[in-house]
Each structure stands twice: as structure tokens, then as C-alpha cells.
Structure 1
Amino acid sequence: MSLPSTPSIETLTPEAVAKTIDHALLRPDMTVDEVIEGCRLCAKYQTASVCVKPCNVKIAADVLQGTGVDVGTVIGFPHGNTPAHVKVCEALAAIDDGAVELDMVLNIGHLKSGRFDEVRNEIQVLTVAAKGKLPTCCVKVILECSLLTDEEKITACKLSEDAGADYVKTSTGFSTGGATIADLKLMRANTNPSTTRVKASGGIRTLDFLIECLQAGADRIGASATAAIVDEMRARKAAESKCQ
């Protein structure tokens, strides 16, 4: 489902809002029952995907089979410190379990150390391996913007794009900050919209902020407040209809 050129309450529908959301089920203390409940919520609201911990990919894939909701997971989460070959193994195992979207954390320390070739190569090796196993696999690179300077964010965007990633993503939601409008505008301005999309994640709990993120250039939203956001959109649309 494509977004309107100017996303707003007036131009969006509840269904379109839901299809921008990767519903996050990543809390370290989350139980299997909570994961299953969250996946059923995704099926009910028809989100773009669910993003679960690697250990829960198979569970999510079983629950969501035939629903039209994709299963995603995280790689090198939450700090990006595992070696490249371990991230690749993690990615391939996740695909075997049913994941079709991979949100990988880049090596933040190596980026800040100026080891750009290593950062690019890590993303590229994982992307090539994942797409070699599953050509339709979607690879998103988490920058963790709250830990980076603007110059480092721009460099990370360009390295990710050069490496063939499908998305650049603001945050894990488990560091010192989440998505900001300034970061989204910066990321959008420094990637090619025809090849590289932008995902906003971290602290997006309201419909108004979700729409602000879309207006700033986000194509996908990572959120756990899916029901509240979509229900608010439905309520506003219903109120809008009554006023007409």
C-alpha cells in the first residue's frame, strides 16, 4: 500500500496507517504468550510486519501464516557488536525460521572509529547472504542515531546504501534516544528514495507523532502502541465523517 504524497489525517486511512507499522515485540522480559498475543494483534490490525526476537521467529511465523503480515527480526541486537560472520549466521537462521525482514544493528564502535570499509562490508556481506537465500528479504540497517553525530549519521546512510540495504533505521529503542524529526529529515536527505527507504523507530506512541515521522520522510514505523495508534485514526475518521 503506497502512501499519499502528503501524509495527513485527511489523506491517510486507518488501513494505510497500520501498513506503515512494524509492530515491535522485543522487550527482554516478554513471554511466549505475550508474543503470540502480539502476533494475533498484528493479524487483526493488518500491520506491515511484526518484529520479534530471533528466538521467537518460528513462533511468529506459525501464528501469522496466511495472514499477510510479514515476520521480521533483529540481528546483532541491540548494540551491533557481534562479528560480521555471526550476524550472517543469525540472519540465515532467522530466514530458515520464517523471517522475511531483518533489522540489523551496524557496528557503532567501528563507525565512530572511522573503519568505514569494515562497516560497509559487514552490511554488504549480510545483505548478499540474506538475499541469496531469500531474494525478497528486506534488510534494514539500524544506525542508533542518538549515539552518532550528524556527520556519522550521513556516513552511515551512505555506507548502508552502497552496501545494498533496503532501509536505514533510526534506533533500536533500547539506547539513549529514539526517532526524531531532525534525524529522519537528515536520513531522507542523504539517501536515494528510489532505492533506500527510511524507518523511524523508538518512542513513537501516538498517531500525531507517527504522521509527523511520515511527513519527515519515514516509509515505515517501528512501534509497540499499534492498537492505540490505529484506533485513534479510526476515531478521528469517524468524527470527520460525522462533521461532513
Structure 2
Amino acid sequence: MQINKYIDHTLLKSTATQADIKKLCEEALEYNFFSVCINPYWIKYAKTLLKDSDVKVCTVIGFPLGANSSINKKAEAIQAIQDGADELDMVINNGLLLGENYSECLKDMKSVKETTNNNKVLVKIILENCLLTNEQIKKACELALEAKIDFVKTSTGFSEHGATIEHVKLMKQTVGDNAKVKAAGGVRSYEDAINMIEAGASRLGTSNGVAIMKNKKVDGQNY
């Protein structure tokens, strides 16, 4: 198993400097991770550093709360694609989901999906599973399928806790082969990574990619 190609090497802290992003990209090149996942400001810089590799640039939309308007999310997505993003991880509007306003929640997802140049850019929908019941997680995944989203993702990594084996299995059972699952938040070791993959994850969002490759465990980091 090429576990490195499951990893979106992630740095989404607001305090990340240019030097931090440079280090992240250098690590991604060294270990040949699938992508780097960064805030939108750094897309152009990361794209320059990674231009001679197959490491993708992933960015976040509506992050971390998901509560901004669909118009703003769409504008973020358009700009991110123009700047060179290969993948977009968009936070859903949890208030719409929890309030059972499913038509607006679906519209929110579609607003970003429709920006993706005929599916040349992948879209992942970020749930905040720690705030949801299993039925709400299942419903969000069903809406994602209706919006033709490419991935459903377990969490932002900025709430109460991140991915769990139970939630990854539930999401995979719901989407089947029609979408993929990204486990994010709390993937801190090689063992964690393998467990998430065996549960059904096709991608891992983690800031601990280097530790995973070295088979070391990192304590105290959510993402």
C-alpha cells in the first residue's frame, strides 16, 4: 500500500507563515504525498513550489464554519480555481442541515460544484460529524450524492473531535461507489491511517503526514 498517496498534507492554522508553507510543500515533495491542503491565500505560492511534481494543491472553502453565504462560497471557489487549486474542500452549512432545510443545503453544495470546470477540479464536502447524529451524517452524504460531490469528509479538525472509525464506515456505506470518503482530524499515526483506510477512507487529511510515514505517533494535534 502506497499510504503516502492517501495523504493530503495539511496546514490550515491561521498562523501559518510563508516559511511554514514552504516546509509543508518540501515535505510533500519528499514523501510524494497526494496533495497539500492549505488556506486559499497560499495557493499560488504552493503551486509554484510544486509545479514540477504530481503533488496537487487542495484548498478550503467556507472554512472552518461553513456559515457564509453560497454566493461567497462560489466566489471563493472561482478564485481558488483561477489561482491554481486542484481540489476544493467546502464546509457545509451545518445550520441548514440541523434545521432540516435540505433544499438550501443542497443548493449550497451545488454552488461550489458548478464552478469546477466540468469536473476537472474535485470537490469534497466537509461535515462536522462530531456535531451530528448518525442520521444527519447519512442525510448530508445523500445530499452530497445528489449534488454530484466527489468526496464526503469527516470534519474540519477545528471542532470537538475529528474522524472516527464508526463515522468513516457510515459515510462509506451511504455513498458506496458513487463518492469517496476523506478522514480528517485526529489521524496522528500509521496505525490510525491504516484503520481509517480499512474503514473505507480513500483520502486522509492530516498535519501528521511525516510522522505517519516514519511510523511515529503525534500527540495533542487535532488535524
TM-score normalised according to structure 1 size? 0.87
Cα shift at 1:160? 0.5
Are 1:33 and 2:16 matched, yes or no? Answer: no
From 34, 38, 50, the equivalent of 1:64 is: 50
Are 1:19 and 2:5 matched, yes or no? Answer: yes
SS in 2 for 1:122: helix
Cα shift at 1:71? 0.2
% identity of equivalent residues: 40
Letter in 2 for 1:221: L
Letter in 2 for 1:223: T
> 1:118 maps to which residue?
104
Letter in 2 for 1:190: T
Cα shift at 1:216? 0.5
Return 5+ residue gaps in structure 2 as ranges.
Answer: 217-223
Cα shift at 1:125? 2.1
Letter in 2 for 1:206: S
Return 5+ residue gaps in structure 1 as ranges.
Answer: 1-11, 234-244
Letter in 2 for 1:130: T
Letter in 2 for 1:175: S
> 1:188 maps to which residue?
172
State the alpha-carbon separation in 2 of the partners of residues 25 and 65 from structure 1: 19
SS in 1 for 2:59: strand
State the alpha-carbon separation in 1 of the partners of residues 47 and 205 from structure 2: 19
Aligned Cα RMSD in Å?
Answer: 1.0
State the alpha-carbon separation in 1 of the partners of residues 103 and 150 from structure 2: 19
Runs of at least 4 residues off by over 6 Å = none
> 2:220 maps to which residue?
none
Conservation of the 8 A alpha-carbon contact between 2:144 and 2:152: yes
> 2:197 maps to which residue?
214
SS in 1 for 2:72: helix
* Larger radius of gyration between Structure 1 and Structure 2: 1
Deviates more, 1:173-182 or 1:122-131: 122-131
SS in 1 for 2:156: coil
